[in-house]
Structure 1
Amino acid sequence: MDVHRVSNHNVMDYNFDNMESKHGKMLPCQEDRFDSGLDSLKEDELVSEIEEMTLNISEELTQEYEPWRSAVTEDGDTLLHLAIIHEATDHAFQMIKLSHNHPFLNVQNHQRQTALHLAVITEQPQLVERLLKAGCDPRLADDSGNTALHIACKRGSLACFGVITQNSQQHITSMVSFPNYSGHNCLHLASINGYISLVESLVCLGADINAQEQCSGRTSLHLAVDLQNPTLVRRLLELGADVNCLNYGGFTPYHLTYGRQNEEIRCQLYEKTAQELRELPDSESDESDMEDLDSSGDELYDDIKFGK
């Protein structure tokens, strides 16, 4: 998944104007805008400023925590958020070490992103592990309802996915089934984006392969058909997906092959679908429903646009 598909609402304006620590030290200003650090991780000048900010307070860390932990940008980002975004890894490690089981680790910015969210977005699995072992809560959701695990599944981050699941065993059942605000759980997101290895791992972890997303009741198998992904369809069937499951409109996955070009998918599903469920259901809305299905395209399954 392209890093630039992180939605525009994740843009954060790191404006340090009028921000001052309790010791009267003005924090540096930065006029440029950054999209969760994804477009600016290598801005040498800004990284240098972040390091200087952290170094200026490093001598006080073991004696007075409040000025360090309470400093935030106008977008709600703490120094830990900034250190992660700009890959000031040593300083992030230091702050994490000094904040074991402290609420500071779970501070959410104005996009409700925690340090853990940002560590996954910036693909830093070592930081993800440090944060989780220090007490960061993996169940917290951002303003799209995504936990850090949702983001890992959406982005196809195998490393971060592995670290999160290995260090969140006590919450794993609820985490894999938890829907975001678009109605998608982690399995749906992995399926939508075609990450078959993540689909396999989620099912092994206990994810319900027949779970229906909340917008239109489609299972991962329905989604795989709509995305015309024969490899995923085959693997889901091997993993035990129910071909006879109906979405909220009364359609089986096989019904969704109508008007679609992939004959391999059609043949796979035809053989396994119950005979009485092979024909389209009779309904006054059948024609319009199928027109919607035919014109939907992959765009329908974007995590933000889905269900519009």
Structure 2
Amino acid sequence: MDVHRVSSRNPMDFNFDSVEPKHGKTLPCQEDRFDSGLDSLKEDELVNDFEELHMDIRDERTQEYEPWRSAVTDDGDSLLHLAIIHEATEHAFQMIKVSNNHPFLNAQNHQRQTALHLAVITEQPQLVERLLKAGSDPHLADDSGNTALHVACKKGSLACFGVITQNCQRHIASMVSFPNYSGHNCLHLASINGYISLVESLVQLGADINAQEQCSGRTSLHLAVDLQNPTLVLRLLELGADVNCLNYGGFTPYHLTYGRQSEEIRRQLYEKTAQELRELPDSESDESDMEDLDSSEDELYDDIKFGK
């Protein structure tokens, strides 16, 4: 059988603000993966597989047990996972329709991805909405600790983000603050990837703009300085970010401008940072400060991979 790897980097048809990161640092933690790990079937072969399993799901009667619900691939993907991956939309809609509030909707593959995760990864907001209304659990996390909302924030998917937040309003406060296994909540992920529109939306939804990620204690403002994104820095300041917040190493966002290229960011933060917090901690001179920061930078700030 001719197979190919499902890509997690499909082009997006939605507009969002983005900044191409210039850093190449890597995570010591496991890198977030958004692909299904599935060696894909051809579209016609997928349809044949549906037919071979004698799926009679055209009526609305929900049976407690159906053979097609228990069928899985070697990667743990159900037929609903496959239908979403291959954009076999009608098959997916039919399975969702007859599986209202059924555990089948929340089945997780070997990467612990649900159908909801895959609908966001493949940019299918209509499926995201159908799944949520049928009982899919938006709190379930994959093997990197990412919920479907984390995935939408990392990918910059405004459409899927909007569908999830509109359909989960009762739980939105906990969802936006929930950290993944790298210690990043949704606001951190949107900031790391430079999605300013999502940053604004998250703050409007109640996300704590000064929340510290769990690896190094950086806020979104620290991360924006790391990204050297002056537009994001300015917007975070306008939204009320605390310039005097210290990360776990005792550094303010202004401290992170040492040795960096953007004078605009340095100026913005210098004016707002408390005078007693402008000098690097335990420093004797500006020159030694910069040397110390440069020598320790990889050690202190190697917990995020800047990039797509």
Q: Does residue 49 of structure 2 align to residue 53 of structure 1?
A: yes
Instruction: Specify whether residues 170 and 113 from structure 1 end up closer, same or farther in structure 2 by C-alpha distance, changes over 3 A only.
Output: same
Of the three residues 288, 292, 296, the one matched with 1:292 is: 296
Q: Does residue 298 of structure 2 align to residue 302 of structure 1?
A: no
What is the TM-score of this pair, normalised by structure 1?
Answer: 0.82
- Do 2:216 and 2:300's aligned partners in 1 also have CA atoms closer than 8 Å? no
State the number of aligned residues.
274
Of the three residues 5, 9, 13, the one matched with 1:3 is: 9
Aligned to 2:169: 169
- Do 1:256 and 1:293's aligned partners in 2 also have CA atoms closer than 8 Å? no
- Per-residue Cα deviation, 1:54-98 (whole angstroms, up to 9, x for no partner): 244232675854311000111111000000000000000000000
| Structure 1 CA distance for aligned equivalents of residues 62 and 209 of structure 2 | 51
Aligned to 1:118: 118
- Computed over aligned residues only, the root mean square deviation of the Cα atoms, in angstroms, reads 2.7
- Per-residue Cα deviation, 1:200-232 (whole angstroms, up to 9, x for no partner): 000000000000000000000000001100000
Alpha-carbon shift at residue 10 of structure 1 (Å): 4.1
Residues 181-260 of structure 1 mapped to structure 2, 5 A cutoff: 181-260=181-260
Alpha-carbon shift at residue 49 of structure 1 (Å): 1.8
| Structure 2 CA distance for aligned equivalents of residues 177 and 241 of structure 1 | 16
Alpha-carbon shift at residue 51 of structure 1 (Å): 1.9
| Structure 1 CA distance for aligned equivalents of residues 245 and 48 of structure 2 | 57
Aligned to 2:131: 131
| Structure 2 CA distance for aligned equivalents of residues 127 and 108 of structure 1 | 17
Alpha-carbon shift at residue 283 of structure 1 (Å): 6.3
- Do 1:259 and 1:294's aligned partners in 2 also have CA atoms closer than 8 Å? no
Instruction: Specify whether residues 296 and 109 from structure 1 end up closer, same or farther in structure 2 by C-alpha distance, changes over 3 A only.
Output: same
Aligned to 2:84: 84
| Structure 1 CA distance for aligned equivalents of residues 282 and 142 of structure 2 | 41
Q: Percent identity?
A: 76
- Do 1:138 and 1:149's aligned partners in 2 also have CA atoms closer than 8 Å? yes
Alpha-carbon shift at residue 303 of structure 1 (Å): 7.7
Aligned to 1:23: none
Q: Does residue 95 of structure 2 align to residue 106 of structure 1?
A: no
| Structure 2 CA distance for aligned equivalents of residues 282 and 290 of structure 1 | 15
- Do 2:123 and 2:157's aligned partners in 1 also have CA atoms closer than 8 Å? yes
What secondary structure, in the 3-state scheme, does the structure 1 residue paired with 2:218 have?
coil
| Structure 2 CA distance for aligned equivalents of residues 180 and 9 of structure 1 | 13
- Do 1:177 and 1:186's aligned partners in 2 also have CA atoms closer than 8 Å? yes
| Structure 2 CA distance for aligned equivalents of residues 7 and 200 of structure 1 | 23
What secondary structure, in the 3-state scheme, does the structure 1 residue paired with 2:173 have?
helix
What secondary structure, in the 3-state scheme, does the structure 1 residue paired with 2:42 have?
helix
What secondary structure, in the 3-state scheme, does the structure 1 residue paired with 2:245 have?
coil
> Aligned partner of 1:242: which letter?
D
- Do 2:57 and 2:95's aligned partners in 1 also have CA atoms closer than 8 Å? no
Alpha-carbon shift at residue 53 of structure 1 (Å): 2.5
| Structure 2 CA distance for aligned equivalents of residues 63 and 226 of structure 1 | 52
Instruction: Specify whether residues 222 and 60 from structure 1 end up closer, same or farther in structure 2 by C-alpha distance, changes over 3 A only.
Output: closer
Q: Which structure would you say has the larger RCO, counting Cα contacts within 8 Å and 6 or more residues apart? A: 2
Alpha-carbon shift at residue 171 of structure 1 (Å): 1.2
What is the TM-score of this pair, normalised by structure 2?
Answer: 0.82
Aligned to 1:73: 73
Of the three residues 12, 23, 28, the one matched with 2:37 is: 12
Runs of at least 5 residues in structure 2 that lack an aligned partner in the other structure: 1-7, 11-30
What secondary structure, in the 3-state scheme, does the structure 2 residue paired with 1:80 have?
helix
- Per-residue Cα deviation, 1:238-275 (whole angstroms, up to 9, x for no partner): 00000000000000000000000100000000000000
Alpha-carbon shift at residue 52 of structure 1 (Å): 2.5
Runs of at least 5 residues in structure 1 that lack an aligned partner in the other structure: 14-32, 35-44
| Structure 2 CA distance for aligned equivalents of residues 76 and 252 of structure 1 | 45
